[in-house]
Amino acid sequence: MTSLQAACLQAALQVGYHLLDRGSSALLAVEHTIRVLERSGLFNAGKGARLQLDGIQRMDASIMEGDSLRAGAVASVEGIIHPITAARLVMEETDHVLLVGSLATKFARCFKMERHRLQTPLRHLSYGSMLKRKKSSLDRHGTVGAVALDRTGTVAAGASTGGIDRMLPGRVGDTPIIGCGVYADNETGAVSMTGWGESIIRLAVAKGICDRLTKGNTPATAARLVLQKLVARIDGSAGCLVLTHQGRFTIRHSTPHMMAGYWSGRGAPVVKDVFR
């Protein structure tokens, strides 16, 4: 974790908390916390999204609130700075949950969303050549996310990502899939995931953690048990933010490091890259 990333994460936490402190919804706090990270270019989301193997940034995002279980998501959008806001627009301006690809990008541009100029893509590459490059690449992943609880007792969760390094064009991970990358239900809690998306999808991890909260597990226990299963069953890797409507929370990860933080308005925001 660089000092710039830590400072940006602290700023994002302050933005989200101040919205809550003024009576805003958990949904708005989650969206605007993530927008700070997308705009910074310091994380694998928004301006800083990694390139797919054809040289194009394609981004995914989702958001969900726990009162009425409304959710919105976009996958493989291009050329915008704030996919998290596009996801919220899907939730609020349509009766759909997920829009994908070029038409998701067209939908976002319909709302005059701020655009991001991309470098010239490598469109001349064949899929065969991209598959060869894929085999020699190292996949690193990363997602920005947030969970929040507002004064009404409503929880919300969101996530935004550029995926993994050197991924095949068309690849979609867990982030825009409700129940995998994010989930929020006032009766259980809110979860936002980061990690190896394919493994998170296969165990529907976010919903799995919420199901354990329903059974009476604490956030720490629910997260620990599901992450242990992820590693044991499919050698997966992930980290999570978990928050209940009572305000109990945990940050857990099966990876050596996970940059994250929290703030309740007292003292300074807590930001570090290892949580145990």
The predicted-structure confidence for 58-102, as pLDDT tens digits, reads as follows 999 999 999 999 999 999 999 999 999 999 999 999 999 999 999
How high is the pLDDT of residue 167? 86
Distance CA 23, CA 61 (A): 25
In order of 103, 260, 274, the CA distances from 269 in angstroms are 39, 10, 15
Q: Bin 23: left if φ > 0, else alpha if -120 < ψ < 50, else beta.
A: left
CA distance 25 to 156: 9
33-72 as b/e, with b when 16 or more CB fall inside 10 Å? bbbbbbbbebbbbbbbbbbbbbebbbbbbbbbbbbeebbb
The model's confidence at residue 128, banded by pLDDT at 50, 70 and 90, is low
Strand partners, 238: 195
Phi-psi domain of 185 (left: phi exceeds 0; alpha: psi -120 through 50; beta: other): beta
Q: Give the model's pLDDT for residue 19.
A: 98
Alpha-helical segments (H) within 174-218: 197-202, 205-214
Does residue 160 come out as left (phi exceeding 0), alpha (psi in the -120 to 50 range) or beta? beta
- CA within 13 Å, CB half, 123: 3
* Model pLDDT, residue 141: 53
pLDDT of residue 133: 57
Per-residue pLDDT at 137: 47
Q: Is residue 182's pLDDT more than 80? A: yes
SS3 state at 58: coil
Higher pLDDT, 166 or 70: 70
Tell me which residue of 72, 94, 93, 96 sits closest to 84, measured CA to CA: 72
pLDDT confidence of 113, banded at 50, 70, 90? confident
Run of H or E including 101: helix 101-110
Q: Which of 33, 85, 105, 143 is catalytic?
A: 143
pTM of the model: 0.92
pLDDT tier at 266, thresholds 50, 70, 90? confident
Q: How confident is the model at residue 42 (pLDDT cuts 50, 70, 90)?
A: very high
pLDDT tens-place string over residues 209-251: 999 999 999 999 999 999 999 999 999 999 999 999 999 999 9
Q: Where are the domains of the chain?
A: 3-272
Task: Give catalytic status of residue 143 as yes or no.
Answer: yes
Fold for the domain defined by 3-272: Glutamine Phosphoribosylpyrophosphate, subunit 1, domain 1 (3.60.20)
DSSP 76-97: EE-SBS-HHHHHHHHHHHSS-S
Share of the chain above pLDDT 70, in %: 91
What pLDDT does residue 2 have? Answer: 87
What's the average model confidence in pLDDT over 142-154? 95
Give which of 36, 107, 33 is closest to 63, Cα–Cα. Answer: 33
Looking at 15-24, 56-65, 74-83, 128-137, which range is the least confident one?
128-137
Q: Which two tokens stand for residue 214?
A: 């329903």
Pairwise CA distance, residues 186 & 155, whole Å: 6
Please tell me the predicted confidence (pLDDT) of residue 136: 46
**Backbone φ, ψ for residue 239 (5° rounding):** -140, 160
In one letter, which amino acid is 203? L
Confidence at residue 118, expressed as pLDDT on a 0 to 100 scale: 67
Task: With cut-offs at 50, 70 and 90, classify the pLDDT of residue 125.
Answer: low
Which tokens sit at 174? 């867990």
